[in-house]
Chains A and B, each alone.
Chain A
Amino acid sequence: MSGISPTTGGGTSRFLRRRAYLLPGLLIGTATLGVLLVASIMLGAAEISPATVLEALAEFDETSFDHLVIRTVRLPRVASGVIVGASLAVAGAVMQGLTQNPLASPGILGINAGAAFAVVLGVYILGSPPLAAYAILAMIGAAAAAIVVYGLASTGRDGATPLRLTLAGVIVTTFIAAFTTAVLVTDQDTLDQIRFWTVGSLAGREWSLLLWTAPYMIAGVLCSFLLSRQITTISLGRDVAAGLGQNTTLVRGLSAVAVLFSAGGAVALAGPIGFVGLVAPHMVRFIVGTDYRWIVPYSAVAGALIVVGGDAAARLIIRPQELPVGVMMGMVGAPFFVYLARRKAHG
């Protein structure tokens, strides 16, 4: 291990002491997620009894409409919600640690917008790209947006301060939105497929696309878990991390790749669902403090809870119609963003 965590030595004992309640807390969170998953599979526009749901899971009858609803609509949707929520939240947590910016998240810093635009451009140029191409396109777009945002924020004497990063993210997101609109108005065929990537939704996600995007998200999240100790160190400041002998360039590079995999895969599957990456890490910090060894796994669970819960609400609010979960996240996340920004402004 190249980096030395500030929590080694006395920190390790604190870590172990905190683990006395943090580990059960994580397990409780995971169990809660499990309950929510079951509830989410049971709830929907079609009224299906819990017994039928269990039957569909245990003894699938492919001639039963209700079983097919469970297997082909709700299960892939819930599975997508879990992995997308976890990925976006972990990406947000890593970004906040790396940039020491509480407002950092894939949505705020233009990563989601870049990924979504790349997918849209791919659809525009290729018509119907193969499923395997979606995640790759999204990651290329996410990387391009990240580079531009960071480059833009780094100009000038102060470097990439949190405020400059946030502003650069807003600028790049707006800039990309203009191009997305340009594609939208010039190609009627793409327009209809674009709608999905302009709001973010779990509706109609099929196993096939999930299977093509999940490996990237899983890799990104696992990589983030492995880097969480180093990210904790970096979150204390680059000077501190360098002083502790950490190869910050390598850690930052690997973390950036983890973010691109997580957020890119999530956007390729569900479109740009905003604010999850911002809200989830902040929520878990209230419980776990500043140690990314806990923030990352807690964020994964919290992100999954938020997206699966939000999607369940989005399905039930105007039943039998549905809202895209991206819209729900906007309703909840935007006020939270304002709260954070104000808190930051007041020091």
Chain B
Amino acid sequence: MSIILTPPGIATVNVAARDAQKEYTIMMKRRSFFLILSALVAAGLFAGGTAETTECAAGERTIEHFAGTTCIPAEPQRIVTTHDQNALLPLLELGIRPIGSAALVLDDGTSRFRRVDEYDTSDIAFVGAYGAPSLEAIAALGPDLIVVQQFDIEIYEELSRIAPTVLVRIFDRPLTEALLQFGEVTGTTPQARASATAYDERIDALRAALTDSFDEITVSVIVPGNNPGEFYNGALGQAIGTVMEDVGLNRPAPERSADDTRVYWTVETLSEHDADAMLVIDFSGDGDADPVLEAFVTSPLFTSLAVSQAGQVHIIDGSATVGTAWGKMDSFLDELEGIVLDPDFDTAVVD
């Protein structure tokens, strides 16, 4: 559900925003390690001669993935994931129930699987904080397959000693490709393809519905930064970025980067993001009010934008629209359709 912005009465929360920021920080720090280590892992696999001619035992099949080629059980029964929203979530969506997963560790020491509220996760064991899962806890569960996202490549070799490990690349490619690979890994390709087909049909329908006004519409998607006076592109990769790319609506010039690297802009440049509709992603989901987001959208600079004056700023719940799942892309499409197909939507806010 989107909320037409009526400052200052904006109900927002900030825990997930912090998660997203923390995760992004971890991501950036690891990017260099990631490239080096992926080269090393690839080199190691090739040196061992296993990459090209992997022969699997009976009851196994080969999977080509980001870290190489691995033999995995034909029908894995005891899957452990090392990330909640980027590994546990896509498996749950495919009807697979992992036996354990890493999660966000909260301030009070408890843990939470993020963005999976619609699923019962009560019997899924916690195996440590995402980014630094406990190898002992994973080994203790006796998994027959470990599914990890790309930033866990640092511990890929250790995980591989516990069980066959598949590393799925989430970033720097359309999310649809990653989601199809999760289907391939878990032997649920038909379900994944069905979701992909349904998604493609929605995209086509939206584009068709916009035929007459397509070129006239500009949509900005931004997120306030943690520090006052800054914001960043809210549609880099993942669910929102993939949908925005597939729909193909115009974006303000600074938001048209094909690079997934996050750049923080100062609010001085906010007018460059003026658009017919502005979607401000609120990564809070649940928790306390987020003073940064509220200060951002109620600042004189923000409220002076043409899109603010036109009442076409929408606060989008990031917890419902961000995450590695067809459902998250569907949720964002719901939001986008509700905005751009609204008969009252003014497509002439900016030229």
Contacts and interface: CB of A to CB of B under 8 A. Distances in A.
7 contacts: A65-B304, A69-B301, A74-B268, A189-B18, A205-B228, A320-B265, A320-B269
- Among A127, A188, A196, chain B packs the most CB atoms within 10 A around the CB of A188
Interface residues of A, number: 31
Nearest to A187: B107
A192 B228 CA distance: 11
A203 B267 CA distance: 10
A191 interface: yes
A2 interface: no
Given A188-B22, A192-B21, A65 B301 contact: yes
A209 to B, nearest CB: 10
Interface string B265-292: 1111111000000000000000010011
A44 B268 contact: yes
Contacts of B291: 128
B300 A186 contact: no
Contacts, number: 84
A128 B290 CA distance: 11
B265 A189 contact: no
Contacts of A205: 228
User: What does DSSP make chain A's interface, helix, strand, loop or mixed?
Assistant: loop
Interface residues on B, range: 20 to 34
Contacts of B226: 192, 195
Interface of B: 14-15, 18-19, 21-22, 106-107, 226-230, 254, 263-271, 288, 291-292, 299-301, 304-305
Contact of A72 (B22, B263, B265, B300): B300
A104 B144 CA distance: 62
A63 interface: yes
A99 to B, nearest CB: 34
Given A204-B228, A204-B230, A72 B299 contact: yes
Contact of A68 (B229, B254, B300): B300
Contacts of A57: none
A74 B18 CA distance: 28
Nearest to B109: A186
A187 B15 CA distance: 11
B227 A188 contact: no
A312 to B, nearest CB: 13
B227 A186 contact: no
A125 B22 CA distance: 21
Contacts of A204: 227-230, 267
Contacts of B106: 188
Nearest to A128: B291
Contacts of B304: 62-65, 68
B268 A45 contact: yes
Given A46-B269, A62-B304, A74-B268, 10 more contacts: A45-B269, A46-B271, A62-B300, A72-B300, A128-B291, A189-B107, A189-B288, A204-B229, A205-B228, A322-B230
